[in-house]
A and B are shown apart, each in its own frame.
Chain A
Amino acid sequence: MRRTGTVEIVHPRYLGEALCLVADGGRPLAGGTDLFVRVRRGTETAPCLVFVGELEELRGVRETETGIEIGAAETHAEILAHPATERFAVLRLALRAIGSPAIRAMGTLGGNLANASPAGDGLIPLYLHEARVRLVSIHGTRELAVEEFILGPGKTALRQGELVRSITVPFPRDGAQAYFRKVGRRQALIIAVASLGALVWADDGVIREARLALGSVAPTVVRPREVEGMLVNRPLTVKALTEFRDALSSAVRPISDLRASADYRRQVAGNLLLDLASG
């Protein structure tokens, strides 16, 4: 059933005001690209939406000594255009793969986190960079690693009344090769069947460290750490990577849904590994 009426939305001017509204059960609204779809389908039950997309405290990208801090309500397009994200190639590759220009001009990284979709393109670089999520509520602030923050499909560690304030991403060690690819049934606006992002440090074609993050093949984005360990000191060639294809396929826990079967997703996940050497 479609809800044809309009939804109640409030527009606080300050973070403190927003936090009080969220503490009373309001659902934070940033870009609206997912939330409005749920409202229309009638699956969103919050009594009101709290528009936080323009709160100064949730905006901007700031360079710190150890990395960058991205405001939760910063849009994908703004993050892509910000000079401070230039050192984060895999972040830019992943954000560029999101939706379409209009969706990228609306959707936010904080929204991606709060949605906790296993297919969230924007989450993959956060797992690779071991980003941290800063939360705020009327009671104070706390910080969690992205892997602690996301608990399952649509499930996060957010407590009642908490809001994602920002995401801190540490600078990667120099020399990382960035890789991101998603496989789906259409180029734009696809929800991936499987996706792989990677940061690889190699010397003379030999892998010194590899970080992999896979989307759409488990209840959350996953880092297959065993496979990452196996790749150390191996050549970055298709031949060498082929040995680990099955290990990667076994490391994922996909489901079958209307987009693809679990078996297909396993196979694609493994095959994506080979692509690292051709990039």
Chain B
Amino acid sequence: MTLRFRLNGRAVTVEAPPGRRLLDLLREDLGLTGTKEGCGEGECGACTVLVDGKPRLACLTAAIQVEGKDVLTIEGLASSGRLHPLQEAFIGTAGVQCGFCTPGLIMAAYALLQENPRPTRDEIREYLAGNLCRCTGYAQVAEAVELAAERLR
């Protein structure tokens, strides 16, 4: 099918079977490899993207489900060539280590700050609870989100 949607603010038209995973569509058909595949079963959050402003797992989303929608991936945060405050904060606090979970964590954190620009530490931890990280121990991640929230205010 011919699929039309907005990707990181730009209109995209792509040929894809309706059942193609959004994750494969992004990574393989559109070359946006920032979104990662961790478990492929909705347990780890590594493939979190935003669809119409809400967090979604690209591994459990079919291409057909984003028809006419607005999709935001990690690439869309730095589209101007400058890092987003969340990305800077993750680097600053060492919230990035191996980096595999980072795009998912940052997209989830982005969704949180859209909903709640002044989250408490507990709210941050709760919101990011669906994103697994095996390196950082999460403390630096929560710090990064707090720091970014301050900078964005």
User: Footprint of B on A, CB under 8 Å?
Assistant: 6-11, 29, 32-33, 36-37, 40, 49, 51, 53, 77, 99-103, 105-106, 187-189
Contacts and interface: CB of A to CB of B under 8 A. Distances in A.
Contact of A32 (B55, B61, B108): B61
B55 A189 contact: no
A11 B64 contact: yes
Interface string B32-58: 000000001111010010000011110
Given A40-B41, A51-B62, A53-B65, A102 B129 contact: no
A122 B62 CA distance: 24
Interface of B: 17-21, 40-43, 45, 48, 54-57, 59-62, 64-65, 67, 108, 111-112, 126-127, 129-131
A90 to B, nearest CB: 19
Contacts of B56: 102, 105-106
A12 to B, nearest CB: 11
17 contacts: A6-B20, A6-B21, A7-B19, A9-B18, A9-B64, A33-B42, A36-B61, A40-B40, A51-B64, A100-B130, A101-B55, A102-B108, A105-B54, A105-B55, A105-B56, A188-B129, A189-B43
A36 B19 CA distance: 10
Nearest to A40: B40
Nearest to B18: A9
A10 B43 contact: no
Contacts of B57: 33, 102-103, 106
Contacts of B61: 32, 36, 106
B62 A187 contact: no
B58 to A, nearest CB: 10
Contacts of A7: 19, 62
Contacts of B48: 102
A7 B45 CA distance: 22
Contacts of B112: 101
Contacts of A32: 60-62, 65
Contacts of B59: 36
A114 to B, nearest CB: 16
- Select the residue from B42, B112, B129 with max chain A CB neighbours within 10 A: B42
Nearest to A49: B19
Given A102-B45, A106-B57, 7 more contacts: A9-B64, A37-B41, A49-B19, A49-B62, A99-B130, A101-B112, A101-B127
A37 B39 CA distance: 10
Given A51-B65, A101-B127, A102-B130, A37 B60 contact: yes
Contacts of B41: 37, 40
Contacts of B65: 32, 51, 53
Contacts of B111: 101
A11 B17 CA distance: 12
Nearest to A35: B60
A53 B108 CA distance: 22
A32 B50 CA distance: 16
Contacts of B108: 101-102
Given A9-B62, A100-B129, A77 B54 contact: yes
Contacts of A37: 41-42, 60
Nearest to A187: B129
Nearest to B51: A105
Contacts of A33: 42, 57, 60
A11 B18 contact: yes
A36 B42 CA distance: 9
Nearest to B54: A105
A6 B17 contact: yes
Nearest to B125: A187
A58 B62 CA distance: 19
B18 A36 contact: no
B101 to A, nearest CB: 13
A269 to B, nearest CB: 24
Given A6-B19, A10-B18, A33-B42, A103 B62 contact: no
Contact of A103 (B19, B40, B127, B130): B130
